[in-house]
Chain A
Amino acid sequence: MNRKFSATIKLLPLLALLLSSLAFAQVELRITWYNDGNEGEVLRDLLDRFEADNPDIKVVVDTVPYSSGILETLPVQLAAGEGPDIARVTDLGGLSKFYLDMQPLVSDPDYWESNFGSFLNWLRPEGSSAIPGFMTQLTVTGPFINKTLFDQAGIAVPEGDTTWEEWAAVTRQVAEATGTPFAMAMDRSGHRVAGPAISQGALFFDDDGNPIVTDEGFRRMMQLMADWHADGTMIPDTWLASGGGYAGANAEFNNGQIVFYMSGSWQIGQFTAQIGDTFDWVAVPNPCGPAACTGMPGGAALVAIAETEHPEEVVRVMEYLSSEEVLAEFYGRTLFIPGHLGLAAKGIDFDTDQRLASDALSAFSSQVPKLDPLSFKLQGYVFNRVVFNVARDRLTQAMVGEIDLDEAIERMQVDIEEQIAEASQ
């Protein structure tokens, strides 16, 4: 007994040495991540399984706020060469120069091309065939309505191709009949206005492919937005009281203060959790204009970063997370529209027993084929955030009367040209 005990004691340092050398051999990777809903929790679950099967890799997820963390700090970190190994981004093309091309390292490049092909172009520098990452979610912008308010007002929900003006008129009637403070709301985002602007005939690009916002179609949508804020159709708090950047109207919609909310598919998880079945929230097709009935595609991608010191390990993590089985679980549990063409064709078994959520997911999925080709071109444009942000900020100035709409549009064009010129130097 004593000899056994003594032998065990002698073995302990050896065991400790072995464990420490194992720990020393472990590679730590960092993912910069943000959350819209429960996706961080789901990712952690999936990574825990990966780490159990791959003890030589530890993945740390740094969850940061979307605006200050992903949009503002991450680009500076990447430019300074101090970025993470992997990041979840929404400025898909704007950061493309910092992405790792995983093509030489992935075991099956064809899998990536066939399942993420059309979305990979959003992540690639122009003319490149790189494989930098995959879409953690495909999003589609579009409106939600509070159908319970329609039922209470005894007004039928418009069907078929309904114009923006018709939606504004009918939602005003519903608001009036039910004593709801506001008929409509739209996220304070240039991306959200872009789809309706394309529907109104906005061109967004001139013949040479340069961004343009001075055309009649774009102006028509800007005028509608200004008018709806001036006459009280749209809740002013979202656009006017939020000078800084993006603002949503989730709280007002959740509280039944708005009939129609132009936002997007990423809200489904949040509405499921926060509204549940308190009232019937329904996703409806994008309203129409003279040119189209479109929203905007978009989404977030998980990309590998070129500066990583461990490209092989990064690729192993990315291959795991992008595999069909893992992604099916990820999309199913997060209620995200799949950005994987194979899974989109097969269909996702969404993890919800709420009829409203599954109906909304179907409604947004059915919008994807109806999106205007220009919306895909704009989404893939490397400086699209310049166009979106400038449009958002100058339109707000026109709404509050600091400048008139014509001047706002003129200044949008100047701002866009100046910023792109600066980026080219």
Chain B
Amino acid sequence: MSKPGPVGERAKSTPLLSRLFSGLFSLVMNTLGLILEPLQNRIGVQRMAYIFLLPNLLIFGIFVLFPMALNFYYAFTTGTALFPQDRTFSGAQNYQLLFDCDNFLDPNSCNEDRFWRAVFNTFTFVIFQVGGMVLFSLVTALVLNRKIRARGFFRSVYFYPVLLSPVVVALLWKWILQRDGVLNALLVALGGERIVFLLDARWAMFWAIFITIWAHMGFYTLILLAGLQAIPKELYDAGSIDGAGDWQAFRNITMPLLMPSMLVVLVLGLIRAVQTFDEVFVLTGGGPGTATQLIVQYIYTTGFASQIQRFGLAASASVVLGIALLIFTLIQLRLGRSSEAV
């Protein structure tokens, strides 16, 4: 009888490992059963769901709900003390300071003018960034959904920037855009004038929007691509038999069926855009002046980057931001439901 070879050894060891794991599994389950069965007998099957949800709820409570509540409390306090018990209650003073404006459309007329500049900058940024992101993601997804040459390669290329750290993205583009950067070298080589892109308010905002679209587009393209691939091909065949052209098929088949995915992209893109900080902060620092200072940077600067760390004012600005986000999300969900009902 010959000795078992490597294949034979693997065949022998697999059942052993499997038995070991199943033994361990049974041990853990039996131990859990010892605790859970009497518990279930005591509180009933219906309430057991809460027990299973408890670990996740605890994590959510400690790391999300508690900081939110704490932030809400800080928004009604003043001073520089770090711990809640040491802070001075100030009522709505921080909100009064934020909303002390003669004309809300003119930041210069506001006491906390930088907050309102940040609000307007964020508004501009969100409109163009989310709009551009949805549009480019949709076009890219439509193209990548067709049978084009090297489709797999292009799908990877569009997704690649998503894998980069935001700081890396910003530094990379900063080197491209600065006075002696690659883009200016190219412009000069082609006989053009050097443009210091990050010194001009409009150029700086344009590049902030462009770069964030470039960096995140791949993720949203992927969602839309999945949505496109879920549309049954038979619908297009039926449309084709009925004489529908490409545009009609897109308008009457693709878009309505892609709406749920579009809504996901819109909600996620909007939340991400309002929360944008790292890329723009590294790229422009919020400059020139405050031209690209977004609301999260305002919160960060007010709360952490000044010698006098105004936690209360920063917290109240973040409450305002949270409420705005909540309203936008609810509107979008409502619109989404209406479109589903139609």
Interfacial residues, chain A to chain B (CB-CB below 8 A): 71-72, 75-76, 79-80, 91, 94, 236-237, 240-245, 247, 383, 385-386, 389, 396-397, 399-403, 407, 411, 419-420, 422-423, 425
- Contact yes or no, A236 B196, CB < 8 A: yes
A64–B150 Cα distance when bound, in Å, is 46
Contacts A241-B284, A389-B306 aside, 5 further interface pairs with beta carbons under 8 A come to A243-B285, A244-B286, A244-B301, A402-B290, A422-B308
Residues of B within 8 A of A94 (CB): 307
Interface residues of B in 147-189 (CB under 8 A from A): 178-179
Chain B nearest CB: distance from A234 CB in Å? Answer: 12
A71–B304 Cα distance when bound, in Å, is 9
- Contact yes or no, B289 A396, CB < 8 A: yes
- Central interface residue in B79, B113, B178, B307, by most chain A CB within 10 Å: B307
Q: Is the interface of B mostly helix, strand, loop or mixed?
A: loop
Q: Is the interface of A mostly helix, strand, loop or mixed?
A: helix
Take A237-B179, A241-B284, A403-B108 as given contacts and tell me if A419 and B310 are in contact as well, using a CB distance cutoff of 8 Å.
Answer: yes
- Contact yes or no, B290 A240, CB < 8 A: no
Which listed residue (A237, A243, A247, A420) contacts B289, Cβ 8 A?
A243
Residues of B within 8 A of A244 (CB): 281, 285-287, 297, 301, 305
- Central interface residue in B179, B281, B287, B313, by most chain A CB within 10 Å: B287
- Contact yes or no, A241 B198, CB < 8 A: yes
What are 15 A-B pairs at a CB distance below 8 A? Answer: A237-B178, A240-B288, A241-B178, A243-B286, A244-B286, A244-B301, A247-B285, A385-B307, A396-B287, A396-B289, A419-B307, A419-B310, A422-B80, A422-B308, A425-B90
Is B309 part of the contact surface with A, judged by Cβ < 8 Å? yes
- Contact yes or no, A76 B292, CB < 8 A: no
- Contact yes or no, B78 A407, CB < 8 A: no
Residue of A nearest to B291 (CB): A400
Take A243-B287, A396-B287 as given contacts and tell me if A76 and B304 are in contact as well, using a CB distance cutoff of 8 Å.
Answer: yes
Is B240 part of the contact surface with A, judged by Cβ < 8 Å? no
Residues of A within 8 A of B117 (CB): 402
Residue of B nearest to A241 (CB): B198
Chain B nearest CB: distance from A305 CB in Å? Answer: 15
Is B88 part of the contact surface with A, judged by Cβ < 8 Å? yes
A425–B89 Cα distance when bound, in Å, is 10
Which listed residue (A91, A245, A386, A425) contacts B285, Cβ 8 A?
A245
A276–B81 Cα distance when bound, in Å, is 47
Residue of A nearest to B97 (CB): A418
A237–B194 Cα distance when bound, in Å, is 14
Which listed residue (A75, A236, A396, A402) contacts B309, Cβ 8 A?
A75
Is B137 part of the contact surface with A, judged by Cβ < 8 Å? no
- Contact yes or no, A422 B78, CB < 8 A: yes
- Chain B residues touching A, range: 35 or more
Residues of B within 8 A of A423 (CB): 79-80, 308
Residues of B within 8 A of A403 (CB): 108, 113
A407–B83 Cα distance when bound, in Å, is 36
A236–B197 Cα distance when bound, in Å, is 12
- Central interface residue in A399, A419, A422, by most chain B CB within 10 Å: A422
Residues of A within 8 A of B289 (CB): 240, 243, 396-397, 399-402
- Central interface residue in A79, A243, A244, A385, by most chain B CB within 10 Å: A243
Chain B nearest CB: distance from A402 CB in Å? Answer: 5
Residues of B within 8 A of A420 (CB): 308
Chain B nearest CB: distance from A53 CB in Å? Answer: 38
- Central interface residue in B178, B292, B304, B313, by most chain A CB within 10 Å: B304
Residues of A within 8 A of B196 (CB): 236-237, 241
Is B195 part of the contact surface with A, judged by Cβ < 8 Å? no
Residues of A within 8 A of B307 (CB): 91, 94, 383, 385-386, 389, 419
Interface residues of B in 83-124 (CB under 8 A from A): 83, 88, 90, 108, 113, 117
Residues of A within 8 A of B199 (CB): 236-237, 240-241
Chain B nearest CB: distance from A110 CB in Å? Answer: 33
Per-residue CB contact flags for chain B residues 307-320 toward chain A (1 = under 8 Å, else 0) read 11110110000000
Is B201 part of the contact surface with A, judged by Cβ < 8 Å? yes
A72–B286 Cα distance when bound, in Å, is 17
A82–B306 Cα distance when bound, in Å, is 20
Is B82 part of the contact surface with A, judged by Cβ < 8 Å? yes
Chain B nearest CB: distance from A343 CB in Å? Answer: 31
A400–B117 Cα distance when bound, in Å, is 14
Is B212 part of the contact surface with A, judged by Cβ < 8 Å? no
A247–B281 Cα distance when bound, in Å, is 14
